[in-house]
Structure 1
């Protein structure tokens, strides 16, 4: 009987601890900071979500991480819509077609609800639309594949509203090596990639070094005449060996460049444990796919069973705050922001940061760690706007 009671007490304690992890008491001050200031999240994958399954995000949706009511609840008013192009479309005209199609989707969102949303093509647009109570939808291209080695395409996408380009994604493309691609085709940037960075500077398109290899990062930093961004990256010190994240030397170089790292919220990006879980799952799924075939019922059953028996160890709000703290400790408060990857990292978001309604939780966490109101305003948008304006000012002269 004593043993049964002990097990029951342990279970009750575990439930209490789990509820404590999820229960964030948000102060009026945190909510006020969220509602009265611009929040730029530099990477939200709504357009590709709509490509897979169209839903009307101008109203509440039953799934996904973003829609208008939740954005308003969280105070989000300037989410960069990610024009994500899968690496499988590299070296194909279909990459350019898809990019235009995804931009069409964003324009359709605004067309459905011009009283709620507006396209933003400048930092001034964001400020003006914020004052009107509109949610700005600036555009960033994730994977430069649609440029197709032609600077005329760069100008085309600038004219369509693209204001940053993530040079590569999960494989090397015609611009840059990828952190995920071990072949290191270019040993950094390609000759065209180096030319592209210069022309991006001239047009006022921010250079985004998320996803690229370390060598490509340093070459982009050296070539760019303007501050660069990491639109949705976290820190390698917390995920050793994960090149997709930035190490301390890169963070310091980014600071010297005047740039900003926008912290990715995905659990596998922010904790060593979740990152190891992800690598193990990928390895196990690869073996199962080779054994059963990726499209087989046996493979699908295996994946379901594996996920049930090996649940993802979710990161927490504190995990994300640790990344912000580390950037601030290394290079100061002026170089960190938010690049959540909502609608892009699936069911891997941390406890208390599950969708765009939860920015007040992040703000509360920053307040609890002693950040001032001005510091928080910089993290929410000020730092990114500074970099964006620096790129606009350079382009205006060139």
Structure 2
């Protein structure tokens, strides 16, 4: 267990925050710091065909140690951290034998990780937790996944008595800004299927995710001296407000769960002359997802019709771009890959929690690129903020799940 703790801490103390405003891949130069470290570690532990390309995508091979034909499987994680909260100067704190009470993350700033607010903490009484110091995120998303994949490969190399087929591992940049799979060479990876180690709570096994779209709405206006503005001024900020007010009030992230979709306004900026509103659309159902996009177009058309005479042209301009789709469509035809992961968990005494992802993973995009790729727990909680933590025992179990999946896949009766 200490080996996993040491490995995890060595990764999270390297700042790998990605940048959505950067056109490069990786989006930040500092992601190379961890990428290059991982390459050296993969070589040192005995992995073969270790490669890193010009965009920092890492791949490596653990050769089969059986004579019969076995499907080639892969395990994938990302090494960037979200730009939502700083990942610089991460100072992990280790809480041994957690007693179920409040954890003081930062006494000076009165930052407390409490089970009164984060009830999942109580699942881990008696375990060892790794937390932040209250000033940064932790980076378990997804350096826990990297730790588990590296540890599992090392274990299989050290225990050749465990029979397995050819295994490929892949580490990607920029997942947190939606570009983790954009330059992933599926053909080079050469797997029949793979798993992302990028889930949260122990037991999570996910093969469904949102269909996703991003929306940018631009509102035009006319600026006139306010003292002489009657019948002439058009305030684009008020048009944006009208538009937002027409969105279904109960279909927002804070009021939805499970399979319920939503509209989510993420940014607004403007003046009298021009205002832009950014929002995202999410739904597991493709039919409902399509209707949500149609709703935005209809609302745009209605406002343009209302203002056509006074403004003389379209006063609302809407752009909708699909971002990713529900991987369920690509996984269901090969559902045995989910069943293998489920069986692996059960054999290790883990209760599988099969549920939809209220978000997306690299696995979603990879599935549509020809690599079916369900998602497995990595163990962390409260991602993207100062309350992030990970139970060490969950990382140990995730490592064991990888080993067990490799073992089960190599069995002739699979």
For the superposition of Structure 1 and Structure 2, which TM-score range results when normalised by the shorter chain?
Answer: under 0.3
- If asked which structure has higher relative contact order (CA below 8 Å, sep 6+), I would say 2
Instruction: Give TM-score, length-normalised by structure 2.
Output: 0.26
In terms of fraction of residues, the more strand-rich structure is 2
Computing the radius of gyration from Cα coordinates, the structure with the larger value is 2
TM-score by length of 1: 0.27
Structure having the larger proportion of residues in helix: 1
